Amino acid sequence: MALEVVKSLVGFLLLLNFCLFVIVGAIAGWALNNAIDHTYSTGPGTALPVGFSAVYFPMGNEATGFMVIFALIAAVVGAASCLSGLHHLRVWTAQSLASSAASSMTVWALTLLA
């Protein structure tokens, strides 16, 4: 009885976490697309501007580009970790717990990095 309550609570939290990772990934993807669309354009015979950066974002400061890229990576890996957690919830064995815990710790570290 108590195990079913725990499983339903874990399922709800995994679904909520998956939705949040999808939202973060969508926002980071939009920001990256916006940066690619508004990047420097140079023609033949023109030099790059003095402050050129490979990760140029028209919004924010110099760290915005790296934050958006790391957030996008963390969101994709986080969504995959949620799917691994759903697999563990379905089979509920020690082997699936190890893989789910490893992927969740990886996502946690990437989220701290972002």
Long-range contacts of 50-55 (CB under 8 A, 24+ apart): none
What's residue 34's pLDDT?
Answer: 87
What's residue 91's pLDDT?
Answer: 94
| pLDDT, tens only, 38-85 | 776 666 777 777 766 667 777 888 888 889 999 999 999 999 999 999
Tell me how many degrees the CA angle 82-87-88 measures, rounded to the nearest 5.
95
What's residue 40's pLDDT?
Answer: 67
What's residue 83's pLDDT?
Answer: 95
Q: Is residue 93 over pLDDT 70?
A: yes
Number of separate helices (H) and strands (E) present in the chain: 3, 0
d(CA 57, CA 75): 19
- Tell me if 68 sits within 8 A of 57, measured CB to CB: yes
| pLDDT, tens only, 7-32 | 899 999 999 999 999 999 999 999 99
The conformational region for residue 40 under phi > 0 = left, psi -120 to 50 = alpha, else beta, is beta
